[in-house]
């Protein structure tokens, strides 16, 4: 019986620690992250994407797939 209560206590403590650390690890995202370190990032990315799509039209679909299939699940899983 003592082993059962000790394992139950360990499970409860582990869950409490998990809840405490999970709640404090939220991402601090901001829309102006690059405004000081790289102010022309959006213009640069836009010109590179437009150039790539004009050379090879399927690049647009590839970039969309990359964003939604590779990036979006990571965002959803981190919440």
Q: Is 67 tagged catalytic? A: no
CB 63 within 8 A of CB 49: yes
H-state helical runs in 2-79? 2-23, 41-55, 58-65, 72-78
Q: Which of 4, 50, 67, 69 is catalytic?
A: 69
What are the Cα distances from residue 46, in Å, to 23, 56, 61? 36, 15, 15
70 marked as part of a ligand binding site: yes
Binding site listing for Ca(2+): 70
Binding site listing: 70
**Which amino acids are annotated catalytic?**
69
């Amino acid at each position: 019986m003592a082993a059962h209560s000790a394992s139950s206590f360990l499970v409860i403590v582990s869950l409490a620690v998990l809840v405490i650390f999970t709640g404090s690890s939220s991402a601090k995202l901001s829309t102006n992250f690059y405004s000081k370190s790289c102010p022309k990032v959006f213009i640069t990315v836009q010109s590179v994407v437009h150039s790539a799509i004009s050379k090879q039209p399927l690049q647009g679909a590839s970039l969309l797939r990359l964003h939604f299939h590779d990036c979006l699940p990571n965002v959803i899983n981190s919440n």
